[in-house]
Structure 1
Amino acid sequence: MIAWSEIIIRLTLAAFLGALVGLERERKDWAAGLRTHMMVCVGSSLVMLVSTYGFEDILGTHNVVLDPSRIAAQVISGIGFIGAGTILFLRQGIVRGLTTASGLWTVAAIGLATGGGMYFAASIATLLALCILWLMQPFEKKIGNRFRRRSLKIVVTGDNATGTLEKILHLTISESSNCLIEKTDSGDLSVSVEMKSLQGAGQAALISALQAMPGVKEVGFQR
């Protein structure tokens, strides 16, 4: 049987490594923060200990053969229900929480490695996870902003709203991929155009041209 001191070391290290990743998520005020990541990591570490050493008393019994990975393997699939709870579908094309869900999955794997005594692998995985979550974020934003599409909302009012709408579509058609036209409660026409990423002078010129059209009541980008 594994020594008590080794059990304490493995579970404590799992809590510490899970806390490191959890602190990064806590910094952004996510629902799955410090305590959630610590619990997942400690729990998966304990599962690994049980899976590996929990049945030593019956090993060697006639016709008894055990696979030490059978229980630990269920952590990888079972963590999915927690990860699914952190994913939010806000609207078409906008999903939040995927990074937190993948972080929980990684923390579970770190816990399994710690429970299995693979301290170096668990520590390196924690370091890489922190680099991906923290250090890579500015780089991701810089690259992502170049390709991110934004929704431009234009509200048209007046008797010639249909004619103005045709001019708007003609002006934005080359820079758009989707267009949604709705009628507001006040009778105005609301046009939501999903735009390609326009930067600097191109974006300012387009907005100025739209604002100069007769009947255009509002122009602005939606989050």
Structure 2
Amino acid sequence: MTPALLGVVLETDLPALAQEALQWGAIPDLMRQLARLGAAAVSLPLATALGAMLAFRPRREGTPPRTPAVIQTQILLAVVGAIVMLVVGQSLARAFGIVGAASLIRYRAKVEDPKDAGVMLTTLGIGLASGVGLYLLATFATLFVLGVLWWVESLEPRATKRFRLRVVTKDPAALKPRLRPLLRRHGAEYELRSVGADELCFDVALPLDQRTDAVSTAILALAPDGGTEVEWEEKKK
């Protein structure tokens, strides 16, 4: 086939193919997607800001402190609600579809972090947006939620393991002022619980990547003459 003839064929067939693709819904309406994307650019940041205002509201005196996981989940649920409503729009059928899809979620294992449940609902909304052809909305929502998760997870306190540290020594009074800076150097948070005639007992929170044997070796080095014992007992949650 000559180039001239190929050009004639393409010029003749491509408009028909494009028209057929649009007729059968193979190419989503770009203007509709751009409209949803513009709405998402406003509603998702607004939902995040309003959710954060509620999550970080001043705590009344005497009320228990809020856990970071609950604060993060409250912010994330505001974003999830905005994503779901952007997907639903004015479609009653989509609303029933989302309810049906959400009812399929079953937690057979306990979800320790409620934020993970919020992420599951977010992925459901993003999947539904992709399924109905709102590809730009699904992509933007994914990137936006990644940013929100990075922000809220940066507010989490450092993960630690809690132990009861018992140090048996000949002279607890002499060891105590030297032991405290040692624990701080290893990133430990501690509280002295008791002082005996030959022992010190601490409640200690160690970073997850800090090994107890390294701390024990450093403690034993404080009394090179011997007579010191170190015992760690991990606390149950």
TM-score, scaled to structure 1? 0.34
Query: Greater Rg, structure 1 or structure 2?
Result: 2
How does the TM-score come out when normalised to structure 2? Answer: 0.33
